[in-house]
Amino acid sequence: MPIPLFNSIASWWLKKRFYQMELFLKYPEEVQVELLNQLIITARNTDIGKKYGFETITNYELFRNNVPISKYEDIEPYIERSRRGEHNVFWPTPIRWFAKSSGTTNAKSKFIPVSTESLEDCHFKAGKDMLSLYFNNNEDSKLFTGKSLRLGGSKSLYEDNNTFFGDLSAIIIDNLPFWAEMNSTPSNKISLMNEWETKLEAIINETIQENVTSLAGVPSWMLVLLNKILEKTGKENLFEIWNNLEVYFHGGVSFNPYRDQYERLLPRDNFKYYEIYNASEGFFAIQDRNNSDELLLMLDYGIFYEFIPMETFGTARQKAVPLWEVETGKNYAIVITTNAGLWRYLIGDTVRFTSTSPYRIKVTGRTKHFINVFGEELIIENTEEALKKACKEAGCEIVDYTVAPIFMSGREKGGHEWLIEFRTHPPDMVRFTELLDEGLKSLNSDYEAKRYNNMTLNMPKINIARQGLFYDWLKTYNKLGGQHKIPRLSNQRNYLEEMLGMNGTFSEASGEGGINV
């Protein structure tokens, strides 16, 4: 089929899906309640369904009261049974694929079930919806006249007891429909290569010959690839290589720290950035408007949502609420029930609703990635925004960072210790520290209160990381590429201490402002 004709047909077909979305936009509660009922009925004869009496559950209140909220450790025995070939454990159809994920909070591997239903009705459906929303907002798009440069994780699929495990991206690539494969680069063979650095070189050699019209991948790792492409080709920006490039679909980590660097690589005012929110457990939300920083929560992907207000999270007062009871401006931990057999599963992410008509969110961080040692309740959203402001005013760029508490000792007050790798260093580190501190105060009243007159918290202490430190740390744990990322915030010092140990003699204390350079 000629590419222009394929582009026209695909655009028309994807736009049709936009009108189907209107159902959950108009009737979100009804769509979610019906979905929950379908999930319960479908799984009532599974081991989990029998254990929790799914046959007697006829409404949300009964579901909330009968089925406990679970973490991975709680459901691991059921997953291991399924991985050994048992069927009908937590979902009635056979589970053939498991997305292997260690995350950043636990070295132990997690195997997240991926059912045929979740693959088709969640992950693939979301990929089409991402394009539908984009085409609906950009009717003159020529996306399908070229190819999408996708950057997934390394590692192909591995077989174990007639089931398969690997990165989610490997599972998706292994099952891609023909039309998606036809419009993607690099090839499946290169996409599934195991060794990250060899893979990068192969991607560069293949993609610079293609007509790339879109990019898709995690911002931190995509930036590594794009800078290597410019280095190899000697070009100043990416449009000198791919003149028809029009959009970057990104997710996995906050885009804020990287935006300025991307805008230099892609210096066109009409270039689009579209954010997505997906994980091994499912595909949750998509940016549905041009130039927006909000994500539309997708309600018909076989996922029933609940939310725990963070002010009660982990306490005796903890209680999950359904979608129709959330409030804007509050921080929530997400709980999901899915068509892959995850029942009231705590995925570890936190979000804030910016709108309830329709339901739009911002991802604010992780339930384990915050600092609240001194009552400051610092979350990733705060640090990302404060860093963005400080970098803009100081005229610098960062590669990555992590933050940990400095615990009180005797008469010594507490504080926050940062480790930052700069791409472009600030000319004045004392001023940069002040800007960062001021930014955090303006964004977080609890932090501001603890910093007042150094009452509880001293000025932040900043260590400058040597070039490539965070990359080397991830490489040590075989976590290059894909969804792997640096733990941004922690209530403990173990990550920071380990990275400082790898930083060699590059950093040494230098007095004013608590800065190590």
The 10s digit of each residue's pLDDT in 219-253 is: 888 988 999 999 999 999 999 999 999 999 999 87
Res 375: pLDDT: 74
Mean per-residue pLDDT, 461-473 = 93
| CA dist., res. 270 & res. 267, Å (int) | 9
Peptide bond into 113 cis (omega under 30): no
Mean per-residue pLDDT, 306-335 = 94
State the pLDDT confidence band at 206, using cuts at 50, 70 and 90.
Answer: very high
Amino acid sitting at position 274: Y
| CA dist., res. 112 & res. 279, Å (int) | 10
295 three-state secondary structure:
strand
Amino acid sitting at position 102: S
Res 48: pLDDT: 98
Strand order across the 515-516 sheet: 397-406, 415-424, 461-464, 515-516
Residue 7 in this model has a pLDDT that exceeds 70: no
271: CB partners within 8 A, 6+ apart: 245, 246, 247, 248
Residue 263 in this model has a pLDDT that exceeds 80: yes
223 or 44: which leads in pLDDT: 44
Residue 297 in this model has a pLDDT that exceeds 70: yes
Distances in whole angstroms, Cα of residue 21 to Cα of each of 94, 128, 252, 296: 29, 12, 24, 11
State the pLDDT confidence band at 102, using cuts at 50, 70 and 90.
Answer: low
Record the tokens describing residue 202, joined without a space: 């192969």
CB neighbourhood size of 325 (10 A): 11
CB neighbourhood size of 44 (10 A): 17
CB 402 within 8 A of CB 434: no
CB 53 within 8 A of CB 43: no
| CA dist., res. 516 & res. 467, Å (int) | 15
Distances in whole angstroms, Cα of residue 334 to Cα of each of 251, 306, 352: 17, 6, 10
Distances in whole angstroms, Cα of residue 133 to Cα of each of 11, 19, 129, 244, 489: 11, 10, 6, 20, 33
CB 52 within 8 A of CB 169: no
164: CB partners within 8 A, 6+ apart: 96, 97, 98, 157, 158, 171, 174
In DSSP terms, which residues pair with 351 in a beta bridge?
Answer: 363
State the pLDDT confidence band at 504, using cuts at 50, 70 and 90.
Answer: confident
Distances in whole angstroms, Cα of residue 416 to Cα of each of 285, 385, 389: 32, 17, 18
Helix, strand, coil fractions of the chain, as percent rounded to 5: 40, 25, 35
Q: What is the largest CA-CA distance in the chain?
A: 75
Res 108: pLDDT: 59
Residue 323 in this model has a pLDDT that exceeds 50: yes
Residue 262 in this model has a pLDDT that exceeds 80: yes
CB 36 within 8 A of CB 337: yes
Start-to-end CA span in the chain (Å): 59
| CA dist., res. 308 & res. 291, Å (int) | 29
pLDDT in tens, 171-191: 888 787 666 677 899 988 888
CB 220 within 8 A of CB 400: yes
Dihedral sign for Cα 466, 262, 166, 148, please: negative
pLDDT in tens, 46-59: 999 999 999 999 99
| Residue 216 DSSP one-character state | E
CB 341 within 8 A of CB 43: yes
CB 383 within 8 A of CB 428: no
| Residue 234 DSSP one-character state | T
| CA dist., res. 309 & res. 351, Å (int) | 10
The per-residue pLDDT of the chain, averaged, comes to 88
pLDDT in tens, 388-440: 999 999 999 999 999 998 987 666 788 999 999 999 999 999 999 999 999 99
| CA dist., res. 381 & res. 329, Å (int) | 13
Closest CA to 48 of 100, 16, 85, 86: 86
Residue 322 in this model has a pLDDT that exceeds 50: yes
Amino acid sitting at position 442: S
pLDDT in tens, 103-138: 444 445 789 999 999 999 999 999 989 998 998 899
CB 351 within 8 A of CB 365: no
| CA dist., res. 125 & res. 388, Å (int) | 33
Q: Which residue has tokens 């933050």?
A: 403
CB 29 within 8 A of CB 324: yes
CB 171 within 8 A of CB 113: no
State the pLDDT confidence band at 348, using cuts at 50, 70 and 90.
Answer: confident
